[in-house]
Amino acid sequence: MNSESISIRQMLDEDLDKILKIITAHDEDDAEEAQRDYQEGGISGQYVMLLDNQLIGVSGAKRVEACDNTFKLSWTYIDKKHCNQGYGRQLLQYLVDEIISCNGRKIFVYVSDYIDEDGIALYAAALKLYQSLGFETELKIADYYDRGESLSVLGLVLKPAPSELPSVISESPKIVFKQLYPVAETENSYSFSWDTKFLGKSFSASDVKIGVDAAHDVEASMVLISFPSNFDNVTMPLFEAGFSLLGQLKDYYEDGIHEDHYSFRLY
């Protein structure tokens, strides 16, 4: 008779060492990034799985700021010696149910197609698992993490948008680029933080070019930027400055307002 007992509870600060050990066994760089994330972003919304009171897995999700009940999955790892026994699916299903009970409308997860030195696709199991839970690829960015290593963003619809959506109101805010910053986990990709204001001149290709020049100065390989799809004054300046539209995350901000992703490749 199998008497093992499985439980899932919210993550506590004292779980951190065990969690980082589990992640390190899969990938050391991920463990470093995860530690930074937990320290900077906190551990609320993070859960651990226990098998006979031993911590064997972690997963979690965070609400995406300024969005209508949109969530983003965070670090999901099962202890290597317990992988492929159904625990990952159980933990993720628990998390999805939690998000549904918090009124979640859509969940996104960001997955790399990294292949390690031994030719192993590190995240292939995760990708299969997400797909089997109903996640669908909405955006793929080639060479995102590094040359040859893509990012796929998968979305899971929890509440389908009503078939008769009220028409989305277009906006033409003044965009102000604030700061060039390196995109986490990438080799040499950069992005800009931006803000909107209601005074001042319109956003133009020359504003974008100032940003691209700054990216040249730090020898960035790619500049990535995203805007809500109802901003009707950003596409033309971005295209004029040499950016391309990569795709969009559907209903990211709210039903009918997507997140449009653009890139500019420097090298």
Ligand X SMILES: CC(C)(COP(=O)(O)OP(=O)(O)OC[C@H]1O[C@@H](n2cnc3c(N)ncnc32)[C@H](O)[C@@H]1OP(=O)(O)O)[C@@H](O)C(=O)NCCC(=O)NCCS
For 167, phi and psi rounded to 5 degrees? -65, 140
Nearest-angstrom CA–CA distance, 124 and 95: 20
The answer to whether 86 contacts ligand X (rule: CB under 6 A) is yes
The answer to whether 114 contacts ligand X (rule: CB under 6 A) is no
Q: Which is nearer to ligand X, 90 or 221 (CB)?
A: 90
The answer to whether 139 contacts ligand X (rule: CB under 6 A) is no
Closest CA to 21 of 52, 57, 53: 57
C-alpha dist (Å) from residue 37 to 20, 62, 102, 181, 196: 12, 11, 22, 16, 27
Cα angle for residues 53, 54, 60 (degrees, 5° grid) = 100
The answer to whether 123 contacts ligand X (rule: CB under 6 A) is yes
The answer to whether 89 contacts ligand X (rule: CB under 6 A) is yes
The distance of closest approach from Cβ of residue 67 to ligand X in the complex, given in angstroms and rounded to an integer, is 20
Residues 11-30 close enough to bind ligand X by CB under 6 A: 26
Nearest-angstrom CA–CA distance, 208 and 212: 6
The answer to whether 84 contacts ligand X (rule: CB under 6 A) is yes
Q: Which is nearer to ligand X, 81 or 201 (CB)?
A: 81
The distance of closest approach from Cβ of residue 79 to ligand X in the complex, given in angstroms and rounded to an integer, is 8
The distance of closest approach from Cβ of residue 57 to ligand X in the complex, given in angstroms and rounded to an integer, is 7
172, 136 in Cβ contact below 8 A? no
The answer to whether 8 contacts ligand X (rule: CB under 6 A) is no
The answer to whether 206 contacts ligand X (rule: CB under 6 A) is no
Contacts of 110 (CB under 8 A, 6+ apart): 72, 73, 151, 152, 153
Which of 20, 34, 43, 78 lies at the binding interface for ligand X (CB under 6 A)? 78
